[in-house]
Structure 1
């Protein structure tokens, strides 16, 4: 097929092929892009999975795609899975496939006409296509996003219909059914309906349809908020069990009470924490009085340049608010010694050890690549022989030894660079970086569970705060919020100047007024750009491009004021609402009733096990130190032979 005759309707990156006919054995366990397309000439819809190279999704140099900035630095080699007898027998079931896979060295592509599929089913991270005989056509594993979004899109567009018996099983509808739905809408007297009072969500929907119908591609049916009942003939043809009455969504929606938000109260920024104010909070022995008030001042106005480095050490946990000057100095000394002990561990790894330690070697290689391109436009890191680049690399390598489970992930260098450029001291910068990583640790999960959860929280918050924008994003298959991925991953590092990002980070580190204020910052930026998205009729790709172009063009003061205003609006609305809003209350850090209580401490461990690491006793420390001294003496002795 000629590519100019194909319209791409929905696309998902980071999809691994897990099962298909034996023809595609070489592509098993490799990553690709799954899309739903329309062939314009024949008006036929089809699914396509295209194999991609790892860097096309994971490398930060390709990050303009906006789908994933996380590089897990895992081996990209694939272990082929032997096909089952059933899979081998179904090798000829694919009626329409690409010819590209016939070349051993070319990227494989799997295509199947929608009309040739019987059903679609999804699990937690899996999506399955079924042939007409209900054998599995192919199975895919989603790494970025959820297959639910893919299936939800198909259901909303009336390509599939949910089974009444199986919870996550959907029957494929004949494409003629979607044509019927399109014609039924064209026969509506939209102008008359639009001029009537809007009594329920159905009328609202039809009115919206009148205003956006010109942007819907030809042949694609408009999104509706209700479900149609299939004809008896189609029920018989599909063998479905859905003779039961389908739930009509418009009735369910009209029974819901429309949400009313309180007006957004104005929010104004305050003066930054300066040297004189900071001195007033310091007691005679050097401890900090009323840390909560200090954090409140920082949230309102940030910190002046002359004391920023000192205060950051408190915000990031190197220094303890309650410690006296002597205790602070003692702690810094101990932390410095601990840092250089960990640094010595990787500095003394032999070439043979490195050769036999794949994970270490790959992380080291990745750090070297990232350091070369991190903040090179700033004077502090400019130049090829800049010693600060060596410090940046050494700190990241030491973090690999500090946190074996996480190691190094692309994006960490972006978080460390501003800290090192401000603090300068290598060991102290390391421990400040550790404190920052403790706040954003989940951003770098290998399975991206933390990022997915944050995107879902952002989606929930935006739907509550700005329903018009959320509905627009939903109509344009952009409600997954993936265009905000970079914002959340590195906390807006690439959206603001170095000076502004320092102020934004210290505001967020204050923990005021809630632990997820960074999500309100996201909503504030989207809120400001809503008119552009809607007036220009941006699709997902255009939204992503526009969001990336905001880098360096955002007003931090305006964003923070609007973010706080939105927070106050949400807080007051929740306080006066009779509905529980459990998820939103958790999001802003409020306690919920026992019925909607959050997770307990034991719930934090999915396997039900508490951490088994314990502090060493004094005896253990003595034995360890003796072994270290012994090893050092022996190594020195053999050095002379």
Structure 2
């Protein structure tokens, strides 16, 4: 989030930095059980299959429950409620926050012990905060962004994403009309650019459409939903229309992955249950086009801050890879030196990380939670991606230092994340934000 946005925050509301720091301190001090920060995240593996419940889609009209938030969010609220009451309003700098936070470890431990008893109440309280913000005549985006950074209840996610991406207006009176107009505009674009014979396309456009048609069946192959013909056709329409209307980059492999979280989230307003049981063939064509329109516009908004990631030679991604290398060197010199000694270039694995913003590196059922934080970051997302990637990479610092060049390449291209849990993902995000707080304020840090 930009400093300008932070300055607009109401004085009666804790700043976003304060809130995230408290969440970060909780995660790192509590879940790492005493490790001093910044520290390394230790991700453990479980034998349990991935929980697909976070892709469940209740109707928007049903009442909320604690199932709408993850267990780590329940911990967040239990800790934060106690911490907010104890923290000093005069502590503004990150260093002061860290010093005052260190003296609160015992209080933190006591709060964590109460999690099992207080999780239900704090979970409901968190959903109530979202409900309160979304029910106002004009949503205050800074407050909504602060809440969304730590995760959005599943059935509220479509509304929250539309608002934070600037697709839906904060004013509730204007929202329905603007969404209707933008959806009609998308339908017109499809008719103008997609629903035409190849004889009306240039050779470049024909080749681009063919490449998209090849990539769509390859998108998220481990999730059967994306193998449905109707789903692939929707992706094809969205991606081709976007590429035609953004000629500076056109279609680049990897953008197909970026459309998938939007498709799942906006379909969740119409399809219930586990994503493995979804079928778009049961939906009216008008509904499918509305969903596609929302995906198209939100994808466009997301990519607005990353345009140079997908232009010729993708300079934006190369810049982030360089920053990641420098950040890892500052945080964990032993693993940085080992990778350098073995001749491993960050470009060999991190290019895909940034190109697909880590979608291919984690189980798909965790992607929407990760994207809550992405979307809450707004225009700051590209920079924050560097810190998320560093936190993600250094999860395996000890393992990497035991591998030679070939073993490291294979390991980093096939990370053991199949059993990654939502709590472990929260740890990665919290570690990333802590490093962002510690390092990014330095004017000379990671020069372009």
Q: Which of these residues, 295, 309, 314, is aligned with residue 145 of structure 2?
A: 295
Match of 1:461, SS state, is helix
Q: Is the 8 A contact 2:194 2:237 kept in 1?
A: no
Distance 1:513 1:405, change over 3 A: closer
* Residue 282, structure 1, aligned to residue 134, structure 2: yes
Q: Which residue is equivalent to 2:179?
A: 332
Q: Distance in 2 between matches of 1:476 and 1:526?
A: 16
How much has 1:522 moved relative to structure 2? Answer: 1.3
Q: Which residue is equivalent to 2:337?
A: 471
Q: Cα deviations across residues 87-114 of structure 1 (Å, max 9, x unaligned)?
A: xxxxxxxxxxxxxxxxxxxxxxxxxxxx
Q: Which residue is equivalent to 1:361?
A: 206
Question: TM-score, normalized by length of structure 2?
Answer: 0.62
1:231-630 equivalent positions in 2, closer than 5 A: 275-285=127-137, 287-289=138-140, 291-300=141-150, 302-321=151-170, 323=171, 325-347=172-194, 349-354=196-201, 357-383=202-228, 386-424=229-267, 425-511=291-377, 515=381, 516-534=383-401, 536-539=402-405, 541-550=406-415, 551-565=417-431, 567-569=433-435, 571-572=437-438, 581-584=443-446
Q: Distance in 2 between matches of 1:567 and 1:432?
A: 24
Q: Over aligned residue pairs, what C-alpha RMSD do you find?
A: 3.1
Distance 1:553 1:509, change over 3 A: same
**Number of residue pairs the alignment of both structures matches:** 310
1:124-203 equivalent positions in 2, closer than 5 A: none
Q: Which runs of 5+ in 1 are unaligned?
A: 1-261, 588-641
Q: Cα deviations across residues 453-490 of structure 1 (Å, max 9, x unaligned)?
A: 01011112111111221112121222544322211111
Structure with higher RCO (Cα < 8 A, 6+ apart): 2
Q: Is the 8 A contact 1:381 1:388 kept in 2?
A: yes
How much has 1:569 moved relative to structure 2? Answer: 4.7
Distance 1:375 1:479, change over 3 A: closer
Distance 1:555 1:481, change over 3 A: farther
Q: Is the 8 A contact 1:483 1:543 kept in 2?
A: no
Match of 2:243, SS state, is helix
Q: Is the 8 A contact 1:483 1:547 kept in 2?
A: yes
How much has 1:339 moved relative to structure 2? Answer: 1.0
Q: Cα deviations across residues 21-48 of structure 1 (Å, max 9, x unaligned)?
A: xxxxxxxxxxxxxxxxxxxxxxxxxxxx
Q: Which residue is equivalent to 1:20?
A: none
Distance 1:448 1:572, change over 3 A: closer
How much has 1:348 moved relative to structure 2? Answer: 5.1
Q: Distance in 1 between matches of 2:373 and 2:146?
A: 9
Q: Distance in 1 between matches of 2:185 and 2:213?
A: 24
Distance 1:538 1:557, change over 3 A: farther
Q: Distance in 2 between matches of 1:328 and 1:430?
A: 17
Q: Is the 8 A contact 1:272 1:297 kept in 2?
A: no
Match of 2:359, SS state, is coil
Distance 1:480 1:496, change over 3 A: closer
Q: Is the 8 A contact 2:262 2:299 kept in 1?
A: yes
Distance 1:317 1:273, change over 3 A: farther
Distance 1:572 1:433, change over 3 A: closer
Q: Is the 8 A contact 1:346 1:398 kept in 2?
A: yes
* Higher strand proportion: 1
How much has 1:332 moved relative to structure 2? Answer: 0.8
Q: If you compute each CA radius of gyration, which structure gives the higher value, 1 or 2? A: 1
Q: Distance in 1 between matches of 2:258 and 2:233?
A: 16
Q: Distance in 1 between matches of 2:435 and 2:213?
A: 46
Q: Which residue is equivalent to 1:608?
A: none
Q: Is the 8 A contact 1:443 1:451 kept in 2?
A: yes
Distance 1:407 1:446, change over 3 A: same
Question: TM-score, normalized by length of structure 1?
Answer: 0.44
How much has 1:560 moved relative to structure 2? Answer: 3.6
Distance 1:444 1:368, change over 3 A: same
Q: Is the 8 A contact 2:212 2:236 kept in 1?
A: yes
* Higher helix proportion: 2
Q: Cα deviations across residues 334-380 of structure 1 (Å, max 9, x unaligned)?
A: 211221221111245444333xx111011000011011222344343
How much has 1:583 moved relative to structure 2? Answer: 3.2
Q: Distance in 2 between matches of 1:435 and 1:483?
A: 27
